[in-house]
Amino acid sequence: EDQVTQSPEALRLQEGESSSLNCSYTVSGLRGLFWYRQDPGKGPEFLFTLYSAGEEKEKERLKATLTKKESFLHITAPKPEDSATYLCAVHLPRGFQKLVFGTGTRLLVSP
């Protein structure tokens, strides 16, 4: 069964305290792994797409990496405005381009 698991469920950081969020998956024939940011009461905002093991992408304080079994979202020197829920999703190799989402990590960055 295709599964996506994110950890931790919630994370509280001090401003400037770097950390990583994890997304592990069990999908055969991964077509892509996506990271989104979601603010309360809003739709998810696209961050990154990763396609193959070893791939890395960066945007400001965020860096996403991918292995054959998991992806990490590294947050370097976070600021309070980075507080949000971070969702990862995998693109299945079949079935109308569906994405399977993890349960998310709620990040709170305190000043």
Partner 1 sequence: GAVVSQHPSRVICKSGTSVKIECRSLDFQATTMFWYRQFPKQSLMLMATSNEGSKATYEQGVEKDKFLINHASLTLSTLTVTSAHPEDSSFYICSAWGTSVTDTQYFGPGTRLTVL
**Which single residue is written with the structure tokens 């961050």?**
47
* 32 is an interface residue for partner 1 by CB under 8 A: yes
71 binds partner 1 (CB under 8 A): no
In 10 A of CB 6, how many CB atoms?
22
CB of 5 to partner 1, least distance (A): 11
- Residue 57 touches partner 1, criterion: CB under 8 A: no
Work out whether 90 is an interface residue with partner 1 (CB under 8 A): no
Q: Which candidate, 7, 38, 26, places its Cα nearest to that of 100?
A: 26
- By CB under 8 A, name the one of 21, 30, 36, 107 that touches partner 1: 36
CA–CA separation, 83 vs 62, rounded Å? 12
- Decide: is 42 part of the binding site for partner 1 (CB under 8 A): yes
Stretch that binds partner 1, among 19-27, 42-50, 61-69, 74-82 (CB under 8 A): 42-50
Please check whether residue 56 is in contact with residue 87, taking contact to mean a CB–CB distance below 8 angstroms: no
Closest distance to partner 1 from the beta carbon of 16 (Å): 27
**Pair type for strands 105-110 and 56-59:** unpaired
